[in-house]
Amino acid sequence: MKRLIYITFILASYLMSAQSDISELEYYFNTDPGVGNGTSIAIDPNVELLDQNFNIPTAGLPSGNHKLFVRAVKDDGSVGYYYSQSFSIRNANATFNSANIDGFEYYFNTDPGIGNGTQLSVTEAEDVNQSFNISTTSLGAGNHKLFIRTINSDGTYSTYDNVTFSIMHAPAVFNTSNITAAEYYLNTDPGVGNAVNIAISNGELLNENLAFITNTLTQGSYRAFLRVKNADDVWSMYDRVSFSVVPLADINTADINSIEYFFDNDPGVGMGSQINLTDTEIVNQNLAIPTTGLTTGSHRLFVRVGNTNGTYSLYTHTVIAVKTPAFFNNASIVAAEYFIDTDPGLGNGTQIAASGDGIDENLIISTSGSMAQGDHYVYIRVQNTDGSWSLYERAHFEVSSTLGLETETLNEISMFPNPTHDNIHLKLPESVILETVQLIDLNGKVVFYTQEQLHKIDLSKLSNGVYLLQLKTNVGEISKRIIKQ
């Protein structure tokens, strides 16, 4: 009889305020059955940020390695990228391994079989934390993968860990040749030079939008890979992105004949406060919605429309604050500022030209090319003629990785578990040296900072919530969102 494993995890939807809420989740194991054909997961409906535990049964899966995929469906009908997690199913009679580690073995690219790799000797211990020099002299130029696994005193081997690296022709020289070609492929590499060609202009840097043709693809999840070639006829390593192909939503041609709204909690479709109107294709009018009866503080207003077919739309929503009349601010805006990640203090952010009773315009905010790869937050606040500053608005954004060995190395850095209750563990490739580590809360405050070469961060004294964990290393910087429960 096999052991039944429940996989527990938390998903967070990385959505900005202009995006849609999550309406449902689905999961599948190993092979994508197609969008909408996975196993549905019950969630707290209609939220922008999903922070919830799920227990997913693995009954029926055979012993061995498997992969779990989870994806979100938003209330506008679009499908998010999937989240994936590898795990193993073992027999029920398997016992916890308490034997010490007494060796390692490694191999390159192809598994020669357990016990047939190159052996590394260590002093027997529960944990091994030391550096190894592994020779690559027998490898040819190009991309390779190093696999390593442990051996314990019972003669049992662990699963492997791996890292990707490149061998260059000696002596290695800095590449000064221009980019002359680019190509992409989906999912499976057809071989260097055999993928779909992309017309580009020759230059030192490729910085443009590239259109991939996806109209011939079936529904499901895909990975697009891109690489470039220089004037020396040398191809780069690839960069990649995941995406999904989903069916087009049906177009609703029925007229709108009603509007309903509610505060904070959904009473059910058709059960909100009704606002009647004449049948029309588009509603473009101001609505006076009373807030009598709401308590002082922050609330969420939800609005949706009904059509002549008796169908209601997805809702739109906004956050409002109810204050006593004494606190109502009639002063005009005289200044605005923004900052990214860390709050420099009131008045010390980057200034934005602003004036009047309100700001209703698109703002272009510059992001430095030296910003850390990964997650970031931008904060905006305004000042009025009384000298008072507003509370800030914030939005999440990501800085994408660029092609290069540094990016591949940064992607090998692991921060786990996430979410966590107490500690975050850091796992770095051997070539990476920490320079600084800092943790920033969603108020822009640095709550932890060190220059030590640590491998564990204690979060037990911090409040539950979302934080940015930023690492500065000898090969670059990386920023990741961490959830403390």
Please provide the DSSP assignment of 115-176 as one string.
T-SEEEEEEEES----------TTPPSEEEEEEEEEEETTSPBPPPEEEEEEE-PSSP----
One domain, residues 42 and 72:
yes
One domain, residues 18 and 77:
yes
pLDDT at res. 368: 66
Q: What is the mean pLDDT of each run of 10 residues along the chain (485 residues)?
A: 39 36 78 80 62 79 83 66 72 64 89 89 80 86 85 82 74 73 89 88 79 79 86 84 72 81 86 82 80 82 85 77 66 87 91 75 72 88 86 82 62 84 88 91 91 89 89 90 87
List CB contacts of 388: < 8 A, sequence separation 6 or more. Answer: 329, 331
| Residue 43 covered by a domain | yes
Domains in the chain: how many in total?
Answer: 6
Report yes or no: 141 and 192 within 8 Å, Cβ to Cβ: no
One domain, residues 262 and 307:
yes
List CB contacts of 187: < 8 A, sequence separation 6 or more. Answer: 222, 223
Which CATH number is 107's domain given?
A: 2.60.40
Report yes or no: 44 and 50 within 8 Å, Cβ to Cβ: yes
pLDDT at res. 97: 65
Report the length, in residues, of the chain.
485
Q: What is the pTM of this model?
A: 0.39
Q: Which amino acid is at 284?
A: N
Q: What is the 3-state secondary structure (H, E, C) of 409-474?
A: HHHCCEEECCCECCEEEEECCCCCCEEEEEEEECCCCEEEEECCCCCEEECCCCCCEEEEEEEEEC
| Residue 24 covered by a domain | yes
| Residue 172 covered by a domain | no
Task: Please say which residue of 380, 399, 418 terminates a domain.
Answer: 399
Residue 356: DSSP 8-state: B
Parent domain of 344: 333-399
The CA–CA distances, whole Å, from 121 to 118, 145, 150 equal 10, 21, 10
One domain, residues 74 and 117:
no
Report yes or no: 264 and 273 within 8 Å, Cβ to Cβ: no
One domain, residues 241 and 195:
yes
One domain, residues 421 and 461:
yes
Phi–psi pair at 409, nearest 5 degrees: -70, -45
Phi–psi pair at 64, nearest 5 degrees: 130, -170
| Residue 94 covered by a domain | no
Task: Please say which residue of 346, 376, 399 terminates a domain.
Answer: 399
* Separation of alpha carbons 426 and 438, rounded Å: 13
Task: Please say which residue of 355, 374, 399 terminates a domain.
Answer: 399
One domain, residues 234 and 281:
no
Burial (CB count <10 Å: 0-12, 13-18, 19+), residue 180: middle
* Separation of alpha carbons 163 and 122, rounded Å: 21
* Separation of alpha carbons 150 and 160, rounded Å: 8
| Residue 223 covered by a domain | yes
pLDDT at res. 255: 83
One domain, residues 289 and 343:
no
One domain, residues 410 and 477:
yes
Report yes or no: 254 and 311 within 8 Å, Cβ to Cβ: yes
| Residue 58 covered by a domain | yes
Could you tell me whether strands 101-108 and 142-152 are parallel, antiparallel, or unpaired per DSSP bridges?
Answer: antiparallel
| Residue 47 covered by a domain | yes
| Residue 250 covered by a domain | no
One domain, residues 83 and 119:
no
One domain, residues 153 and 212:
no
One domain, residues 262 and 322:
yes
Could you tell me whether strands 220-230 and 179-186 are parallel, antiparallel, or unpaired per DSSP bridges?
Answer: antiparallel
